[in-house]
């Protein structure tokens, strides 16, 4: 019975999160979390445009609070807005941008959209980005187009914990287009050795190689001199004397 209660509560939280996501579009929504407190349910909304979420004089928040009370029977829902500091490094916000661009300009400019998004993310300081667009683009046959730049981990613990992944869908005339964005922050890059930080072994081997090369040059010079002596023409006076 306890397990059923936990599952029911979790399903209700997921329904609330999905409802808030669907009701807020084109506001740079990053994440939605539901927390239980002694005073009621606290709903945390992280966005890059807090002003659009709050609305004029808080009208959007008041309307959303009334709707949550009515639809999900929440006693005292409290909505808190959190601002995303670097939206270019957030995969969910990038997916929302791509959806907006595709629905506005159509599927014919999907390549320009992909390259623009990649340049914005890389200029913000990311280590790597991958954008996958799947659907009937640009022809009637479904394809998957992959845009990537920089360094991105595909396996291991770093790929599971540090790489930000988000999914989305754009509704076009040709059909629904799926979008997947993966972003790796620069702080998770592995340290690489520079040319100045050479190991002691390589520093010792360099003069030894120079000495060897000098000895080889002397041997080659001696061989060339012997060849010249043997190849010199014999004078006529030497032949007559013999």
DSSP one-letter code for 26: S
- Beta bridge partners of residue 42, listed in sequence order: 35, 78
The answer to whether the peptide bond before residue 160 is cis (omega within 30 degrees of 0) is: no
Arithmetic mean of pLDDT over the chain: 78
Map out the domains of the chain as residue ranges: 2-85, 88-188
CB 107 within 8 A of CB 179: no
pLDDT single digits (tens) 207-218:
434 444 444 555
pLDDT at 228: 52
Where is pLDDT greater, at 221 or 50?
A: 50
Work out whether strand 40-47 and strand 78-83 pair parallel, antiparallel, or are unpaired.
Answer: parallel
Is the domain spanning 88-188 CATH 3.10.20.30? The answer is no
Neighbour tally for 28: CB within 10 Å: 20
Q: What is the pLDDT of residues 138-197, one digit of tens each?
A: 888 888 999 999 989 888 888 888 899 999 999 988 889 999 999 998 754 544 434 344
Q: Tell me which fold the domain 2-85 belongs to.
A: GMP Synthetase; Chain A, domain 3 (3.30.300)
| Contact of 106 with 170, CB cutoff 8 Å | no
Residue 219's pLDDT band (cuts 50, 70, 90): low
């Amino acid at each position: 019975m306890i397990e059923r209660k936990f599952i029911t509560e979790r399903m209700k939280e997921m329904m609330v999160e999905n409802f808030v996501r669907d009701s807020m579009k084109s506001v740079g929504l990053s994440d939605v979390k539901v927390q239980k407190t002694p005073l009621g349910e606290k709903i945390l909304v992280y966005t890059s445009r807090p002003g659009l979420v709050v609305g004029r004089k808080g009208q959007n928040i008041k309307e959303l609070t009334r709707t949550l009370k009515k639809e999900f029977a929440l006693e005292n829902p409290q909505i808190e807005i959190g601002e995303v500091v670097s939206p270019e490094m957030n995969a969910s916000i990038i997916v929302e941008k791509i959806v907006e661009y595709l629905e506005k300009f159509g599927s014919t400019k999907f390549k320009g959209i992909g390259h623009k998004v990649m340049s914005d993310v890389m200029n913000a300081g990311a280590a790597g980005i991958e954008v996958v667009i799947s659907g009937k683009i640009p022809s009637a046959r479904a394809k998957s187009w992959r845009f990537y730049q920089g360094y991105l981990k595909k396996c291991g613990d770093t790929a599971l914990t540090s790489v930000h992944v988000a999914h989305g869908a754009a509704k076009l005339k040709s059909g629904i287009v799926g979008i997947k964005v993966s972003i790796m922050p620069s702080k998770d890059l592995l340290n690489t050795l520079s040319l100045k930080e050479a190991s002691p072994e390589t520093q010792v081997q360099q003069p030894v190689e120079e000495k060897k090369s000098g000895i080889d040059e002397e041997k080659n010079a001696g061989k060339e001199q012997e060849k010249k002596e043997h190849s010199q023409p014999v004078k006529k006076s030497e032949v007559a004397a013999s």
